[in-house]
Structure 1
Amino acid sequence: MKQLSTVLNGVLLIAVIILFVLHFKSTGTDKNTSAADGQSAGGEFFPVAYINTDSLLLHYTFAKEVNEQLMSKEEASRADFNEKARVFQQDAVEFQRKVQNNGFLSMERAQKEQQRLAKAEQDLAQLNQTLTNELMREQEKLNRQLRDTLINYLEEYNKQKPYKVILSNTLGDNVLYGAAGVDITNEIVEVLNARHAASKK
């Protein structure tokens, strides 16, 4: 999986380099290129931009709400599971104490209690798996919602500023160098937050 990611990053890097070469080749060797506002001297926008995903997730209000919602569900699930695990642990300790002190009236009673505890342990493992799966599904759903809000806005955004490519840059993996104005993270976060706030009114 890591190897595939490395290959994809390499292909992406080559594509970005080709785009830059084509862009600068078409504009000639004009030295009067201003990158401060993401435009060339001719007033054309750069064909490539990127969004720092880490920064977006850190500052986008909806992303923070999604994260808090997920953490809240995870804490509730963990508390429920931990309570059931605590009860099981107490029952298991009590069973051991009775066995050591000959506290059961018959061997049959001891075996039934042992079977009950084995079933309870199995149920606990099943509950843990169920809760984990539910959280994973919830995380996927929330991540999809978050991605959809971003993609939908970028399609609208790109009608005014037609970039050929908008990259996602996570931990600096995809963009090794970006001129000023090519990082559009703050602009995107600002508008997404404004839209999110408006949607809650």
Structure 2
Amino acid sequence: MKNLSIGFNIVLAAAIGVLFYLHFSSSKKTTPAATGATKDVPGGNFKIAYFEIDSLENQFEHYKEIREALQLKEQASARQLNEMKNTFAQKYQEVQRNAQNMTQAELASKQQELQQLDRTFQSKEQMLNNEMQDESMRKLQDVQKKIKDFLEEYNRDKGYAFILSNQSNLLYYKDKAYDITEDVIKGLNAKYKKAK
């Protein structure tokens, strides 16, 4: 779960950089917003808004579904690895119990079998971990893209120079007047329900 949050934070940081680049490299476009968001913030020449990433993670339906699916997959992988560990432990105990009655060749054969089971377990564990990381990253990138696309639509008539998440160590001060978390969650959930 910690890897999931770290991955999500990395993807969001990358999106912030892209938004920063896009804002300063293209001319300002003004078109009516398609989302119907209603948050009014104080005026000024340079506006920055933020959203609470924790609230988004807990209330964006698509993100919650992804998190639950990844948790189920992680649990299935853990069960599979535990079964392999139990098989190894049973074989090891069997060898320990019968070692006195075995010939040197039989004992060597059983030890090779145990080593092979251990190697199989380690490669399976590595494969499952890699699959989990790949799937987590793909799904988090999908969530990141949905957030980025929504924020581009949301900002068409808002005029924010930046929209940031409140990731740890990113914001040292925040004025609640610029908090657009509720709008972001409502808009993302509405788009997600339409897409479903």
Range into which the TM-score falls when normalised by the shorter chain: 0.7 to 0.9
**Residue 75 (structure 1) aligned with residue 75 (structure 2):** yes
Q: What's 1:167 paired with?
A: 164
Q: What's 1:183 paired with?
A: 179
Distance (Å, rounded) in 2 between the aligned partners of 1:180 and 1:94: 65
SS in 2 for 1:165: strand
CA contact (8 A) 1:38 1:181 kept: yes
Structure 2 counterpart of 1:148, which letter?
K
Runs of 4+ in 1 over 3 A off after TM superposition: none
Q: What's 2:60 paired with?
A: 60
SS in 1 for 2:170: coil
Larger RCO of the pair (alpha carbons < 8 Å, separation 6+): 2
TM-score, normalising length: structure 2: 0.76
Aligned residues: 162
> What does 1:29-44 align with in structure 2 at a 5 Å threshold?
37-40=40-43
**Residue 121 (structure 1) aligned with residue 124 (structure 2):** no
Distance (Å, rounded) in 2 between the aligned partners of 1:80 and 1:46: 54
Q: What's 1:17 paired with?
A: none
Residue 45 of structure 1, CA deviation: 8.0
Distance (Å, rounded) in 2 between the aligned partners of 1:91 and 1:65: 39
Distance (Å, rounded) in 2 between the aligned partners of 1:167 and 1:124: 43
Residue 78 of structure 1, CA deviation: 0.6
Structure 1 counterpart of 2:122, which letter?
A
> What does 1:1-201 align with in structure 2 at a 5 Å threshold?
37-40=40-43, 47-99=47-99, 102-104=100-102, 106-171=103-168, 173-200=169-196
SS in 2 for 1:49: strand
Structure 2 counterpart of 1:189, which letter?
I
The structure-2 alpha-carbon separation of the partners of 1:68 and 1:156, relative to structure 1 and needing over 3 Å to count, comes to same
Residue 89 of structure 1, CA deviation: 0.6
Ranges in structure 2 where 5+ consecutive residues have no aligned partner: 1-9, 18-38
Distance (Å, rounded) in 1 between the aligned partners of 2:138 and 2:165: 20
TM-score, normalising length: structure 1: 0.74
Distance (Å, rounded) in 2 between the aligned partners of 1:46 and 1:86: 61
Q: What's 2:23 paired with?
A: none
Structure 2 counterpart of 1:126, which letter?
S
Residue 56 of structure 1, CA deviation: 0.8
Ranges in structure 1 where 5+ consecutive residues have no aligned partner: 13-35
Distance (Å, rounded) in 1 between the aligned partners of 2:68 and 2:158: 33
Q: Which structure has the larger Rg over C-alpha atoms? A: 1
SS in 2 for 1:176: coil
